[in-house]
Amino acid sequence: RTETDPVLRVRDLRKHFDGIVALDGVDLEVRDGEIVGLIGPNGAGKSTTFNCIMGDLPATDGSVYLREENVTDKRTSALVNEGITRAYQIPRVFPDLTVHENVVINMRHRTEPVLPTAFTSPKSDVSERAHELIEFVGIDHLRHEPAGDLSTGQKKLLNIAATIIGDPEIVLLDEPTAGVNPGLIETIIDTIDELNSNGTTYLIVEHNMDVVKQLSDHLYVLANGTNLVQGPPQEALDDPQVLNAYFGE
Ligand code: ADP
Ligand code: MG
């Protein structure tokens, strides 16, 4: 595991829904330049962890730090501006906007007057950068199409491009290959891998163990809303506690 500073730290995160304990103390650390995998059986608390980190849900207790700053329960829009972005399991696009506009609109500091120029002037930096990213994820031929016309896999690639436009500190990906045509899975893996090589740090929830093993530098396994095991991917996956959590009982 790298010795670099943590970008994201989650400490004793707890989330209760009425009587249901969804998160019962989750600890995570993602360091600069890493791809960290987050796995666990259904109901383990992966999505709730993402929702609490991103301010989609208020945490019951515990804290989230972006570098030295406590960002617990900040609003999603504030977190995006500070450098945490997320792509959802079911891709989210503005269906009537073009592919290019969908990337541009995810630029950080959305209240600053960067947007109107980016839309109208193809030479603006944000617009150029969006174009580069669209090319990079391999959907340049769809640049002027309404995003609603894309396949699920293409929308996932679009979301991956959109999470990067503001040069975030860390990107959270929820099941980047779920529901994707097998022909595009390799493209998605290669794209994430290459963006990581270029400096993007990732925390990724993923069911596909081949994908997890290929991409992750470090793995956290959750079960019943808390940490079960962490370590190098193959080691963590071979841990009897993990096998038991997935296949036991
Ligand atoms: P995972 O993403 O790992 O499959 P979740 O984070 O979706 O797990 O769910 C963790 C636990 O919290 C589950 O028991 C789930 O039923 C419960 N849960 C999640 N969201 C809600 C909610 N909005 N209301 C009540 N219970 C919830
Ligand atoms: Mg989930």
Interface confidence (ipTM) of the complex: 0.98
Ligand 1, atom 26: closest residue by C-alpha: 17
Distance 120 CA to ligand 2 centre (A): 38
| Nearest-atom index, ligand 1, CA of 17 | 25
Pick from 170, 198, 172, 201: nearest CA to 82: 170
| Predicted local distance difference test score (pLDDT) of residue 4 | 80
pLDDT classification of 107: cutoffs 50, 70, 90: confident
Mutate which of 10, 18, 20, 175 for ligand 1 pocket (most atoms within 8 A of beta carbon): 20
Does residue 172 contact residue 6 with C-beta atoms inside 8 Å? no
| Predicted local distance difference test score (pLDDT) of residue 73 | 87
Least confident range of 18-22, 99-103, 104-108, 227-231: 104-108
What global pTM score does this model have?
0.92
Question: Ligand nearest 43 Cα, by number?
Answer: 1
Per residue in 123-158, pLDDT tens?
568 899 999 999 999 999 999 999 999 999 999 999
Report, as an integer, the average pLDDT of 102-112.
75
What's the mean per-residue pLDDT of the chain?
91
Amino acid occupying residue 32: D
| Nearest-atom index, ligand 1, CA of 45 | 6
Does residue 160 contact residue 188 with C-beta atoms inside 8 Å? yes
Task: Judge whether residue 221 has pLDDT over 50.
Answer: yes
| Predicted local distance difference test score (pLDDT) of residue 3 | 77
Six-digit token string for 35: 């791809």
| Predicted local distance difference test score (pLDDT) of residue 125 | 85
CA distance 126 to 213: 34
| Predicted local distance difference test score (pLDDT) of residue 247 | 84
Distance 174 CA to ligand 2 centre (A): 8
Percent of the chain with pLDDT over 70: 93
What are the pocket residues of ligand 1 if the criterion is a CB atom closer than 6 Å to any ligand atom? 17, 20, 22, 40, 42-48
Distance 113 CA to ligand 1 centre (A): 39
Mutate which of 15, 16, 38, 48 for ligand 1 pocket (most atoms within 8 A of beta carbon): 48
| Predicted local distance difference test score (pLDDT) of residue 40 | 96
Report, as an integer, the average pLDDT of 151-176.
94
Helix (H, G, I), strand (E, B) or coil at 64: strand
CA dist 151 → 89, 108, 131, 142, 155 (Å): 14, 26, 19, 11, 6
